[in-house]
Amino acid sequence: MATVRDVAQRAGVSVSLASAALRETKAHVRYSAETRERVLQAARLLGYRRHPLSTALRTGRTRIIGVNLGNAQSFLNHPHSARMVSTCQNALAVRGYAMLILSLGGGVSCDLRLLDGIIIMDSRPEDASAVEDAARSVPTLQWFGGVVRSPAGISGAGEDIHAIVRRRDHETSARYLYDLGHRRIALLEPYGAISGAHTAISIFRRIADERGIAVELDAVYDYLAPRIYPNIMRYLDRPRLPTAFYALDDEVAQRVVDKLSWRGLAVPRDASVFSRQTDEGPREGVPGVTGLLTDWPACWRSLVDQFVEVVEGRSAAGRVEPVIPAQRIVERTTCAPPREGTDGVESRVRKTGDVA
């Protein structure tokens, strides 16, 4: 890797002059525009890049943003979370920042002088004091809420954009499935939290009441890790099943499709499967599923850009305003109206002794 000395030798100038020209400063060394262009040309030819640590010592900024994931293994287990972290990293790179994965608290210390800011994507209850301490040293963004904490104070509305969109997901999905004619629906929420399934149930019931239709809803909650969904698989062993399944994402939806196929049931002939978080294109090994496509990357990039403005002191308000992402239904081949005269699904083929 080329050094300042290599650039100086190539340009035929002193090391101090080359260093000053690369930093665009004439404080101690005078040079002409032609000389500076010669130095820059030499730097380009040699592929010279300034060392980030030397720049940090001079400017007092490291251009590193820490991202706290709490229990990183659990957090990254979901592809939606993995895409969120990846999008954040790319958005920071575009602004000239590097990302450092953190685990504040838990007995692990971090020298905050290495960071220009911190994004809290996830944290454990025991991390609360460490997060508060960090906010006293560097600007800190609470990702799910848009709250910015900094040595100057707290700003932001505190609205969890993800919770807002999740409620919108349930409303849009309920209307779509009801429009198809489904009245018996299973809501599959593998988050390990009953509250998530209850929120979906209450919204589905509200939409049904607004339409004056009678529905039968089952809430099935499960644990996301290690992505085997035992509760959901047991539910699918029941002799009588609903006509539609509302799944968290494409992977859960495909697991449902596979299980129904094992039971001799076809999708969407015998049952419809709808994904709350579908992808633009099918992931490897996961065929396309009818579902909601939400432009989360645009929302996440906006959060990063606004936070960088706060970090660099260019935000007059010192806050971020979460943007509600655009959303549309992608219709593929896993949803259709229920068969006439049916309010549930019976297994067509099942041999005694078979194991799911």
The first and second tokens of residue 342, run together, are 């049916």
**CA 320/CA 185 separation, integer angstroms:** 38
The per-residue pLDDT for 61 is: 77
Q: What is the pLDDT of residue 172?
A: 96
Q: Which residue has the higher pLDDT, 228 or 311?
A: 311
> What's the rounded mean pLDDT across residues 279-284?
67
**Helix (H, G, I), strand (E, B), or coil: what is residue 154?**
strand
134-143, 230-239, 249-258, 340-349: lowest mean pLDDT where? Answer: 340-349
Q: Is the pLDDT of residue 353 over 50?
A: no
Contact 334, 289 (CB under 8 A): yes
Query: What integer pLDDT is reported at residue 226 of this predicted model?
Result: 65
Q: What percent of the chain has pLDDT over 90?
A: 35
pLDDT digits (tens, 9 = 90+) for 121-140: 876 666 677 777 777 888 88
Distance of alpha carbon 149 from the chain centroid: 21
* CATH, domain 64-159, list 3.40.50.1110, 3.40.50.2300, 1.10.10.10, 3.50.30.30: 3.40.50.2300
Average pLDDT, the chain: 81
Please state, in angstroms and rounded to a whole number, the distance separating the CA atoms of residues 253 and 238: 17
Shared fold status for 64-159 and 181-290+331-346: yes
Q: pLDDT value at position 120?
A: 87
Instruction: Give per-residue pLDDT as tens, 286-302.
Output: 567 999 999 999 989 99
Cα 193 from chain centroid (whole Å): 19
pLDDT of residue 21 exceeding 50: yes
More confident residue, 286 or 161: 161
140-142 and 147-150 as β-strands: parallel, antiparallel, unpaired?
antiparallel
Structure confidence at residue 224 as a pLDDT band (50, 70, 90)? low
Query: Does pLDDT of 325 surpass 80?
Result: yes
pLDDT value at position 351?
35
Reported as a single tens digit per residue, the pLDDT across 2-12 is 888 999 999 99
The whole-number average pLDDT for the span 153-173 is: 78
What is the DSSP-derived secondary structure letter of residue 127?
A: G
Per-residue pLDDT tens for 27-55? 566 778 888 899 989 988 988 877 666 66
pLDDT (0 to 100) of residue 282: 59
Amino acid code (one letter) for 55: T
The single residue listed with the structure tokens 């990357």 is 297
Say which residues have a Cβ less than 8 Å from residue 131's Cβ, sequence separation at least 6: 68, 104, 105, 120, 123, 140
Which of 19-28, 122-131, 263-272, 346-355 has the highest average model confidence (pLDDT)?
Answer: 263-272
Dist. CA 69–CA 56, nearest whole Å: 25
Task: Let me know: does 219 contact 189? Beta carbons within 8 Å.
Answer: yes
Q: Of 270, 244, 238, whose CA–CA distance to 183 is shortest?
A: 244
Asked which of 78-92, 127-141, 149-163, 342-356 is least confident by mean pLDDT, the reply is: 342-356
Instruction: CATH number for 181-290+331-346: choose from 3.40.50.2300, 3.40.50.300, 2.60.120.650, 3.30.930.10.
Output: 3.40.50.2300
Which CATH architecture describes the domain 4-50? Orthogonal Bundle (1.10)
If one counts every other C-beta atom within 10 angstroms of the C-beta of residue 138, the result is 19
Quick count: other Cβ atoms within 10 Å of Cβ 82? 12
- pLDDT for 25 equals 61
Within 13 Å and on the Cβ side, how many CA atoms surround 17?
17
Extents of the domains making up the chain: 4-50, 64-159, 181-290+331-346
Contacts of 179 (CB under 8 A, 6+ apart): none
Q: Is 147 exposed, middle or buried (0-12, 13-18, 19+ CB in 10 A)?
A: buried
Q: What is the mean pLDDT of residues 73-102?
A: 85
Which residue's entry shows tokens 């004091």?
A: 129
Query: Using the 8-state DSSP alphabet, how is residue 226 labeled?
Result: T
pTM recorded for the entire structure: 0.74
Q: CA 244, CA 240: separation in Å to the nearest integer?
A: 12
